[in-house]
Structure 1
């Protein structure tokens, strides 16, 4: 058997269309109250008062057509964080100008009656900050040389406003990744200006080499670790398989969202302590795009996969640190019911441990999640042989 598909309509005893709400529970869990304005789901007067004040201010701002104070405070904090990025001042100034939407693209110049055209001077498409830095032919050639996961994160961030786009990346990316993005967009802009105004063309490879050299110099200028501090694990060591204890199986989980649709997906790959493949599963569902919720559902599916494989001792590894913390603390907020179900199901095993592992040790589940969106909605199961991410089989029960 190479794959198996179970639709949610069969699990829910009724048809489930894309616009309807899907029942996410797999086992009977008693209903309970959860307050979404607190991380632990417990009501507090402080959070209730804060919710009422914020609601009042948002409604007043909407009626008066102005930005509310919570948005202003959030933007101020994000701008402060933007100025603390570990790059040269000229990069910070460029990021600030981008956040203010003041870099002189052809589209902006036309909007200010300073240009008669809105077309890109390099490829002829409609010009904007996003086109110049991400979607132009030259920009795409440079991004194609960058890290694949970083480029995917940029493509998944579809904010049209440059300021919000930067703030989202600040929260989503690590400091090293954001530094790489900042240096890359400045290098792209500088190369673009040289081509348009000085007729000096710089190849994408030259731009990529400049970016790599700049980031390497930043790393060399950072303070070295003092003696007595534990040496960091080299990157080549982090990418290796981290085996579980003898006699224990390990399930690595990951979640992903589609780029152009409101579809969510999570994958699980199970191997024993000798790295022998035991099984894998993927669940694709509509309307679930919150990363933390997908991470919690992936942990729940890992328990279901281990149960299907008759495994009694299991370690579940996820790169979503917040979900692992919520499972251990029994919290969860919006996905508290899933966390409660995970903890109750975990008691059925002789040994069940949830651990956090970085993405570099979770490449198999991450690659499966990225390449499984061509499948239909429902559960897909692989036994005996691992799934081929380049040729994932379609459902043969339909």
Structure 2
């Protein structure tokens, strides 16, 4: 799928998922200049600038389809400084002239600007997406390192990441993806079910949080990310880990309601969370490395091998 490809009139879920990644790819994709014949001067991201890799100078009439190759000297293939000074601002001139040119004939190609060798990786894509989200003006700042350090099972850590990344398959999320479902909460049947409602603000979820010593801490304009940041700032790590167990059990109960029509009481959900958290702590103790004090006092010494 090309970056400029338009989707069909009634796109499928898979097609919409692919389309949703285009903006991220556009932020990190750059054109590497070879001959310059395949890169348009205006429109293509080819300048070495992380913030804006496109030409900012106004395009002169008749040059809309011009390629970067037209900026090179016909004599030796280097940059034609006279043309560049005539057409571009100081900022664009500086960036263009900083690009090294190959004397060999080679095609322009796409590269990923956030990797040293220009090859896309999931890690760099995730880092770029996280940075983009964190720098948006209304986005709360989430301490992801704290999330990864929590002493909880990997599946629960992944679950927390999904919630904080707005990837939880709630009824409202399905409706946003144009899946025809009733977005009403399957437990309270009163309000639309998003991640915050399902796990915190639903009356059923609130009754579970009120039983715990953690509490719910929220207001009407709160998001799940706001609530999470509030909890992590107010409580110690043990309480936060217990909170993840409660979140996990709340979501498991929600799924049991949706698929099996069974709903546990608030007390039963909290008891399950406490039991689960106790099992996690016990497992950590059993698998934590035991330090032998006798071995610790011994020092390794290098001994010359026999001749």
Do these two structures clear the TM 0.5 threshold for a shared fold by scoring above it? no
The TM-score with structure 2 as length reference comes to 0.45
The TM-score with structure 1 as length reference comes to 0.35
Larger C-alpha radius of gyration, 1 or 2? 2
More strand by share: 1
